[in-house]
Amino acid sequence: MYPMGSIPNRHASGQRTLWAQRCWKTRRGLRYTVRMNTQPSEQALRRQYEDTLVITGTGVMAFGVWSLAKTVVVAVLRMDLLMWEVFGREVSGKEALLFFFVLGVMLLIDLVIRLRLGLAARAEGHGKSGQKTSLVLATLLAIPSLASILFSLFSFITGSHSPFELVDMVVTVAIELTSFVLLVEMIMAVVRLRALRASSQPMGSEGHGNE
Amino acid sequence: MSNFQKAKSVLFALAMIASGVLLLVAGQSGIVFVALALSVLLMAYGIKKLAFYLTMARHMVGGKMLLYLGIIALDVGTLALTFLDSPNIIVVLYLVGAYALSGVLSVLRSREAQKLGGSWKLRMCSGVVSLLVAATCIVFIQDATILLYVFAAGLIYSACLRIIQTLRTTDIIYIA
């Protein structure tokens, strides 16, 4: 816990403040300060993870809403191209309708998952107890995200593209990479924060821990 | 504001008025330029935010938000660039977003002022006008001329407001 090994706890009134851990007087009367960023206190770590959760929660929601909006705009404005790419032939109106229905349902499910995950992460970051499903949901979202990054990189390397397509691809890869890193950060913060909360809470008194 | 900042602001506003008049003169072909300018400006905004994140905001609490904002703005800009062949839609999306948002906000604020017993009629009027403009844009989505008129009018109006705001002597001390 202490970087120096044996720091005398001079403020031994049963109440160790952060300041008392950080600064004390040496025998010669000089004040000596431990740099806290070499080993942050439990409180600081906890706050850091909570901040990360709030930010990544907001980010997951923002990316979810934007990817939905993007897909809807592309699907509406480039309907013919999309159908041609998916089916490889002319399709009848009924098939197109079915396709768009399925696409819409899938997009809505994705959005609901992301909103739920983001809201849960924000709530956990604000001090509420976490949901058990949020880790699972984050992992579920992260795996296809990684797959799509690899796919984009593969087509980026193998195919030849016009300069504009290149810019478009770079931006697409950047946005996918960001949302993947965001999910990984969220998972790590959730795991660490839960471990920290579990260890700082005495057994058998859940919900009434040392606040 | 210092005198230099005032001059800069007024010059910028004059440039806005000039481009608005130019758009009014240009006719239907002007809408492509509007769409192009919108998407390029959006991309520039995203790149600016990303640069700020990389140089500074990495070390700030909550600076990640700027990364997300910048990268989404960049993506919106590139998406808009790919739809330059139908520029009406880009311009309409922009106009509807701007006017509907400001209209809804104005109406809500005036309702609040009405509850508190303040003056609310002017603000309600401006909110309703904004909403009507947004509705007009949606109705005339095919007509590039009307969209251009709306856009140019908004540009010139906000430039005039900017000039008034700049040249008015206020007691507020600006830190800029």
Q: Establish if A92 belongs to a structural domain.
A: yes
**The predicted structure's pLDDT at residue A34:** 53
Nearest to A120 by CA among A104, A136, A109: A136
The Cα of B65 is separated from the nearest Cα of chain A by a number of Å equal to 7
Q: How many residues in chain B?
A: 176
Tell me the shortest Cα–Cα distance from B73 to chain A, in angstroms. 10
Whether the CB of B96 is below 8 Å from some CB of chain A: the reply is no
Nearest to B65 among A58, A70, A164 (CB): A58
Contact A66 B78 (CB under 8 A): no
Q: Which residues constitute the domain of residue B46?
A: 3-167
Cβ contacts of B106 within 8 Å, gap of 6 or more: B123, B124, B126, B127, B130
**Confidence grade of residue A29 (pLDDT, cut at 50, 70, 90):** low
Q: Evaluate whether residue B172 is within a structural domain.
A: no
Write the CA distances from B134 to A180, B38, B111, B129, integer angstroms. Answer: 36, 18, 20, 9
DSSP H or E stretch at residue A33: strand A31-33
Instruction: Answer whether B78 sits within 8 Å of A167, measured CB to CB.
Output: yes
| Alpha carbons B60 and B70: distance in angstroms, whole number | 16
- Tell me: the pLDDT tens digits for B66-99? 999 999 999 999 999 888 888 888 888 888 988 9
Q: Average pLDDT for residues A28-41, to the nearest whole number?
A: 56
Contacts across the A-B interface (CB distance below 8 Å): 46
Residue for token digits 């995203």? Answer: B46
Q: What is the pLDDT of residues A139-168, one digit of tens each?
A: 988 998 899 899 888 887 887 778 888 888
Query: Tokens 């806005």 correspond to what residue?
Result: B16
CA of B158, closest CA in chain A: separation in Å? 28
Establish if B68 touches chain A: CB-CB under 8 angstroms: yes
Chain B: give the shortest CA distance to residue A78, in Å: 9
Whether the pLDDT of residue A39 is over 80: the answer is: no
The pLDDT value given to residue B62: 78
pLDDT at A16: 42
**DSSP symbols for B48-94:** HHHHHHHHTGGGSTTTHHHHHHHHHHHHHHHHHHHTTTSHHHHHHHH
Determine the angle formed by the axes of helices A42-77 and A93-125, rounding to 10 degrees.
160
> How many domains does chain A contain in total?
1
Scored b (16 or more CB within 10 A) or e, A71-92 reads bebebebeeeebbeeeeeeebe
Q: Is residue B123 part of a domain?
A: yes
User: In this predicted model, what pLDDT tens digit does every residue of B144-153 receive, in sequence order?
Assistant: 888 888 889 9
Which residues, numbered 102 to 131 in chain B, qualify as contacts with chain A under a Cβ-Cβ cut-off of 8 Å?
none
Range of weakest confidence among A27-36, A94-103, A146-155, B43-52 = A27-36
Instruction: Name the closest residue on chain A to residue B89, using Cα atoms.
Output: A77
Residue B33 within a domain: yes
Q: How confident is the model at residue A63 (pLDDT cuts 50, 70, 90)?
A: very high
pLDDT band at A66 (very low <50, low <70, confident <90, very high): very high
Q: Tell whether B173 is covered by a domain.
A: no
B176 is a domain residue: no
CB contact under 8 A, A63 and B68: yes
Q: Does B86 touch chain A (CB under 8 A)?
A: yes
What is the value of pTM for the model shown? 0.74
Q: Is residue B174 part of a domain?
A: no
Q: Tell me the average pLDDT across B58-71.
A: 86
Q: Which residue in chain A is spatially nearest to B87 when comparing CA positions?
A: A77
Which residues span the domain enclosing A184? 48-198
DSSP line for B114-167: HHHT---HHHHHHHHHHHHHHHHHHHTTT-HHHHHHHHHHHHHHHHHHHHHHHH
- Contacts with A164 (C-beta within 8 Å, 6 or more apart), sequence order: B81, B82
Please report the pLDDT score of residue B175 as a whole number.
Answer: 63
- Checking if the pLDDT of B49 tops 80, the result is yes
What integer is the mean pLDDT of B93-118? 89
Q: How far is A126 from chain B (nearest CA, A)?
A: 14
Q: Do residues B5 and B162 lie in contact, with contact meaning Cβ atoms separated by under 8 Å?
A: no
Render pLDDT for B2-11 as a digit per residue (tens, 0 to 9). 788 888 999 9
Q: Is residue A43 assigned to a domain?
A: no
Number of domains observed in the structure of chain B: 1
**Which pLDDT value is given to residue A20?**
43
pLDDT at B14 over 90: yes
What is the structure's pLDDT at B108? Answer: 92
More confident position, A157 or B20? B20
Cα gap B107→B115, rounded to integer Å: 12
Please tell me which residue of chain B has the smallest CA distance to A62: B68
0.85 surpassed by complex ipTM? no
Is A171–B75 a contact, with Cβ atoms under 8 angstroms apart?
Answer: yes
| pLDDT range class, residue B172, cuts 50, 70, 90 | low
pLDDT value of position A189: 92
Q: What 3-state class would DSSP assign to A69?
A: helix
